[in-house]
Amino acid sequence: MVKYFVIIGVCLLTPVWPKDKTISMEELKLHNTSTSCWILIEKSVYDVTEYITVHDSLRYDIRKWCGTDSTMAYSKKDQSGKSHSKKADLLLRKYKIGLYQFD
Ligand code: HEM
């Protein structure tokens, strides 16, 4: 019985469930300051404004990446060639605000 309620619920809610917001390069570029810092990593856009000062304590300033496609920078920790830890990847998820709109 419960199973049928779940199925009906999913069918009714799916069309009205909020979809991921899509964000264009134009919009991303507007958020290029430390008071509003969005970065693109792979397919998603993250608002990392609140994380900037935390990252400062790791002795690396991420401000220059605000408003940019930071995929390579994030995956290589800039020039270091090392990748971020699993912990960093999990933390990043918390800041996701939408999907990047590829042309
Ligand atoms: C935007 C581009 C970014 C660059 C270029 C970058 C680069 C770096 C560098 C150079 C370090 C210190 C050196 C080291 O620990 O090996 C570091 C550490 C770290 N970063 Fe980033 N970072 C970026 C964004 C982020 C973001 C958005 C997050 C999470 C929301 C994050 C989370 C961390 C964490 C947790 C560490 C500690 C070491 C680790 O767990 O890998 N970083 N990052």
What share of the chain in percent tops pLDDT 90?
79
Per CATH, domain 22-100 is 3.40.50.720: no
Residues in contact with ligand 1 by the CB-under-6-Å rule are 39, 48, 51, 55, 58, 60, 62, 65, 70, 73-74, 77-78, 80, 82, 84-85, 87-88, 91-92, 95
Residue 48 and residue 39 in contact, taking contact as beta carbons nearer than 8 Å: yes
Q: What is the rounded CA–CA span in Å between residue 43 and residue 31?
A: 17
Minimal-distance CA residue to ligand 1 atom 34: 88
How does the average pLDDT of the chain come out, rounded? 92
What share of the chain in percent tops pLDDT 70?
89
Q: Where are the domains of the chain?
A: 22-100
Predicted confidence (pLDDT) per residue in 6-56, tens digit: 677 666 766 666 678 999 999 999 999 999 999 999 999 999 999 999 999
